[in-house]
Structure 1
Amino acid sequence: MEYRTVGKTGVQVSPLCFGTMSFGGIADEEMSRKMFNAVRERGINFFDTADVYNEGRSEEFLGKFMQENNCRDELVITSKVFGKTAADVNAKGLSRRHIKLGIEESLKRLKTDRIDFYFVHSFDSKTDMAQTLRVLDDLVREGKILYPAVSNWAAWQIEKSLGISKRESLARFECIQPMYNLAKRQAEVEILPMAEAEELGVISYSPLGGGLLTGKYGKDKKPKQGRLVERDMYAKRYGLKQYYQIAEDFNKHAATRGVDPASLAVAWVMANPAITAPIIGARNTEQLKGSLGALDIEMTDQWRKEITELSITPPPATDRLEEQKDISYF
């Protein structure tokens, strides 16, 4: 396996990151352990979790499996802070108070003394950004986290944070975690170019579009089980008809190439030069095979271009369409 460097940190990671959001939820402990072992067998050393995943059970299971296999020092671990973790009114957000309490609980559940990349999970409009950055810097100095990271922020918010960190000599965000897949390409407009310019690592989530790009969905095709069916958040996120047309066309393309749509969808994301590692996840080992199959696909620039043309390219940030590359006028 060819490992990749996270931004300019020097940290080497597998080209796929395994997301453990299913651990302790739709995947019980036995199935979670099987998936952990399956991805380790393929050489994956990068794992993503969060304090809010299944009320902390995701972190607990991951910590338990690392301990069982005595492999903590071989792995690069991420976790996140922001979401509501208790009934208390202050048990959420990016205040110094919540982050200081949150890191201690995450370390206990993960059975480790540090988290490699610690993500702020979303933007907190109620907390001064500098306060958040300072407490993350404190945690770096204490050795409890190695690198601050950020998920679900806009490019301007991340750039503002980088300016504050440089001005105040604080540890800066070194990795970002945006949504990115063939149907959802907004990250291409500003987030990914910013990441390349600032030399930030990128571990994007939802490469399968919540299951949309697995071959199970189409214009008139929908399974009885899956995130897009069972969870309102995903149903709304991918509710537009155009997404199902993209899925339909993508399924046909995968069939002509004789490859699993899930494998191809992940490989398409993985081939973007701005992406360090897409985050894959699954509810069981059978479902996991599709995403892991991306490691066996040799994606060429031409092939990626053909797949890209199956979806809708978002307009440039300035809306000056005449400056967009490869645009067709008619």
Structure 2
Amino acid sequence: MSPHDKKKRENAVMSKRVYVAYTGGTLGMQASENGFVPARNFLEPFFTSLGSAITSQFSFTFNEYTELIDSSNATPQDWLDIARDVKAHYQDHDAFLILHGTDTMAYTASALSFWLQGLDKPVVITGSQIPFCLERSDAVSNVTNALAWLKMEALSEVGLCFHDRLLRGNASSKVKATQLDAFDSLNQPWLGKMAIKPKLNYANLLPKPISGSDWQLPTQADNNVAVLRIFPSMTANLLKCAFDSGYTGVILQSYGTGNAPDKDLELLQTIEGYTAEGKIIVNLSQCPYGEVDSAYATGSRLAQAGVISGNTMTVEAAFTKLHVLLQQSTDRDDVIKLFQQNLCGELSQL
């Protein structure tokens, strides 16, 4: 065997087996009469464009989803389908790369973290702000960086890779609509920063589980959670509308550290009535930075009405966590107990 063939064989043995799921999104979009839409047959030519210096380090399995979506159309069913896809290919691969649109990427990353608790392999989700077909696209750099993170043996959770950063999936939010550093984790440190060499924040990583997980994933997702944002003059009718529409949980985005108008007796009585019926209402601050703290009377009144704290969670994390827990259990007390626990790094200490 020649030295070249021997080196090639060693690389093949050492290469990471990466499962790539292309769900749609800006990264692979092309122009159409109605604007940019997700394009088919995108994966192989795109990864070829990365060059053999990068791709030779990996053994890829490509899956282009049958129905590609703009992520603004993503639903809880799509999150569940991606989770089931990862589970189906988990034993045969070392790492997972999810290509996704940016609008709801943080929701999908959060949902995957709760559906796939106890990962001992990395799942990284990324996309781009500019389609690959256009000049100055950030698609190549984001995917290349994501692959670099997937090589890290210490990483065993859902991460969101964008621009120069790796974020915990359930701590991430899209914070900029048109800039390339579109995502951040405002209440938690980054998991890693890309420089000349990728630098992981080892102290903030989730520990690898002692044993593997046997995820029990349903086939159908419920649309069971709504988000309401408190605003001046808001009435109880909006809350009634949410629960009358069939939702069993509501994320209530309050002012400041968790405050709501305590002089609106109808609103408070409505909240008390629904929590007494077994509905779950979560108090989450509208502020991007900070946490819910019932030090003020206007905040403690919500707690007295049976509303539970969302602590430091992002709206994406609170929404998807409650969604998953409500699918896994019909026992309100169990759901509340688990919701207030730090299941996979979603809660931080400020």
TM class by smaller structure: under 0.3
Higher strand share: 2
Of structures 1 and 2, the one with the larger relative CO (CA 8 A, separation 6+) is 1
Q: Which has more helix, going by share of residues?
A: 1
User: Looking at CA atoms only, which structure, 1 or 2, has the larger radius of gyration?
Assistant: 2
